[in-house]
Chain A
């Protein structure tokens, strides 16, 4: 890959990350927030792959497999938590989940 090809990938990764962050901050449904978090993770992964390709090493690409694997496991746990939360509280709106208020 040429030098000039790195920038578009990073810009794309940055946009994805910003989109994810905006979603996390703006949305109230925990399920959507969770998807946005995954979007941010994907953005970081994309940047990692881009750098790996740019440096002509396979390290980053290999690492990405691990990240995706762990992320899949984490999604399973996270979705299970959200389901458990819904069962217990009857809602997944982040505004109503404020029991940590001091």
Chain B
């Protein structure tokens, strides 16, 4: 049974890689064939993942050793436990629908072959992280994910902002990954193994070292765009919209959360405290910043930051299963929101400014319905997908008596309702604010179908389906805060949620001003500017320009002087000059007798060595 399933995992993992290889080698100019090849691989993967999710009771294990260095065994393997089964299904299913959406969205792009090859490489990489049974394999696929993200953000590489954004994403992620690889080295030197199962069985006396969890969490901070390395995510929206949906909302950025849940057992409680506060803070701030963006994708990116903060907070509260549940729910509704945004952008002829949209409800009814359904789910309307996870996390924060986190999460919940209402108001209601918006058209079926399936099906019924699908073992602790909310109308999270919804309804009215105007910017320009300003980017710019560059210039000068000048030039020029001078004076006098004398001395010297040896 187990070996049978591990061969299924092989197929899930290597189908996208095969597709990518075919596209890269043969189908670079055959965009249409390449796109359907990727779609096929993704859908087959989704079917196989669904089969694993539904049929397997036991964990799927498979391991092959690649190298053995002394006592240390390095290898590849699968560990598909309950969390991995859920993640596998979410990634492949959302991924497959986004592949289908991309067929329509990228229809008139010349570089479709490269784009779909990139998507397939990404699927291969992220699935590698999901099934990996050791830290090293996770790290390798972690880097592959970073590479494919870089490649897909830079899809429009001939535009400066896309090239800069991809570079920024890559560099910021390297900062986090430095900590990750140091954590790997630390783990190997201290415990001698990288296998999750063996590490879990260790439970060292005196607890796990704080530094190990902190170093490994650096990777999570970079990849999941946690404060202070969150700056790359909003810029990553320079990539095509399906990429933003798949990588920078639904799957890759939550891989960090998944990884943290996987190594949860070795994280020190004091580190969890920090993660909880920083996550809750980012949830509140990210949600508020989303109010001050006019680009629809950037606004959604701030919303993603907020949700990543909520997941981090759930991890910090010691509830990794809640974080994973929210990861799954968020993947569905945020993918829908991004695909809806993509459909809107496509329909409005590549207009991304929300202030130049409006009145699209009548012109793009399917997109509008899916977008609004996903927004309601995002706002945690009771019994929609987002409610099951987000409000459960808020309830968990209240129940564990963490006032600061609970307050920040409540702010995040309110902010979610506010920016969702603002988006719906600006994009779909009112009158068109531009020529493009008034000539908008509904998208083709390849784009609408994923919207219908994801938006209506999963945003509305996702929670119920998840309850049916998640194996009981991992659901047990999820159920308790849910029951508290569902059956007690006075649970704190329920009250917060209802208050947030009321404020959202008020925001719909607040933003109902003339088309092309933002009510908050008109009434409180100072607050709007403060939210729009990118404080951390400014800080990093100052640091790089004023500190790092100065140090680098000093080091470069010393390098030029000491290494390049003294150690290389001087030695390279000085030694031959000295030897030449000596040789000219001592040996090459031009006197035949001197030559003969030196020759005789040499012979005598060699003879003396040979005799006395």
Per a CB cutoff under 8 Å, which of A28, A33, A94, A102 touches B588?
A: A102
Q: Collect the chain B residues with CB atoms within 8 Å of residue A101's CB.
A: 588-590
Partner among B584, B591, B596, B597 whose Cβ is within 8 Å of the Cβ of A98: B591
A24 CB–B CB distance under 8 Å: yes
* A99: interface (CB < 8 Å): yes
Query: Is the pair A97, B600 in contact by a Cβ cutoff of 8 Å?
Result: no
* A28: chain B residues within 8 A (beta carbon): 593
Contacts of B584 in A (CB 8 A): 102
Residue interface mask A51-95, B partner, CB < 8 A = 1: 000000000000000000000000000000000000000000011
* B590 pairs with A24, CB closer than 8 A: no
Contact mask for chain B residues 572-598; partner A; CB cutoff 8 A; 1 contact, 0 none? 000000000000100011111100110
Closest to A27 in B: B593
Give chain B nearest CB distance to A64 CB in angstroms: 22
The answer to whether A99 and B593 touch across the interface, beta carbons within 8 angstroms, is no
Q: Tell me the nearest residue of chain A to B588, going by C-beta.
A: A102
Whether A94 and B590, one on each chain, are in contact in the complex, defined by CB atoms closer than 8 angstroms, is: no
A101 to B600, CA, bound (A): 20
Shortest distance between the CB of A89 and any CB in chain B (Å): 14
The contact size tier of chain B is: 10 to 19
Is A98 touching B590 in the complex (CB atoms < 8 A)? yes
Q: Is the CB of B600 within 8 A of A25?
A: yes
Contact partners of A95 in chain B: CB under 8 A: 591, 593
- Cβ-defined contact, A21 with B600, below 8 A: yes
Q: Encode contact with A along B128-166: 1 for CB under 8 Å, 0 otherwise.
A: 000000000000000000000000000000000000000
Please pick, from A21, A26, A33, A100, the residue contacting B590 in the complex, using a CB distance under 8 A: A100
CA distance A100 to B592 in the complex (A): 9
Cα A95 to Cα B591 in complex, Å, equals: 6
CB contacts (< 8 Å) of B589 on chain A: these are 98, 101
Structural contact, B600 and A94, CB atoms closer than 8 A: no
Shortest Cβ gap from B602 to chain A (Å):
13
Q: Tell me the B373-389 residues at the A interface (CB within 8 Å).
A: none
A102 to B588, CA, bound (A): 7
Contact across chains for A97 and B588 when beta carbons are under 8 A apart:
no
Tell me which residues across on chain B come within 8 A of A21, comparing CB atoms: 600
Contacts of B597 in A (CB 8 A): 25
- Among B588, B590, B597, chain A packs the most CB atoms within 10 A around the CB of B590
Which of B584, B591, B592, B596 has the most C-beta atoms of chain A within 10 angstroms of its own C-beta? B592
Determine the chain A residues whose CB is within 8 A of the CB of B593 once the complex forms.
24-26, 28, 94-95
| Residue in A closest to B587 when the chains form the complex, CB atoms | A102
Residue in A25, A99, A100, A102 whose beta carbon sits within 8 Å of that of B596 in the complex: A25
Instruction: Please indicate the chain A residues that have their CB under 8 angstroms from the CB of B596 in the complex.
Output: 24-25
**Least distance between A12 CB and chain B CB atoms (Å):** 19
Residues of chain A with a CB closer than 8 A to B592's CB: 33, 94, 97
A21-B600, A24-B596 given as contacts; is B590 within 8 A of A99 (CB)? yes
Which residues of chain A in 1-34 are interfacial with respect to chain B, using CB atoms and an 8 Å cutoff? Answer: 21, 24-26, 28, 33
Q: Which residue of chain A is the closest to B580 with respect to CB atoms?
A: A102
Chain A 22-49: CB-based contact to B (< 8 A → 1; otherwise 0): 0011101000010000000000000000
Given contacts A25-B597, A95-B591, 13 further A-B contacts (CB under 8 A): A21-B600, A24-B593, A24-B596, A25-B596, A33-B592, A94-B591, A94-B592, A94-B593, A98-B589, A98-B590, A100-B588, A101-B590, A102-B590
Query: Can you list 27 A-B pairs with a CB-CB distance of less than 8 A?
Result: A21-B600, A24-B593, A24-B596, A25-B593, A25-B596, A25-B597, A25-B600, A26-B593, A28-B593, A33-B592, A94-B591, A94-B592, A94-B593, A95-B591, A95-B593, A97-B592, A98-B590, A98-B591, A99-B590, A100-B588, A100-B590, A101-B588, A101-B589, A101-B590, A102-B584, A102-B588, A102-B590
A residues sitting closer than 8 Å to B (CB atoms) are 21, 24-26, 28, 33, 94-95, 97-102
| 9 nearest A-B pairs in the assembled complex, by CB-CB distance | A101-B590, A98-B590, A102-B588, A94-B592, A100-B590, A25-B597, A24-B596, A25-B593, A102-B584
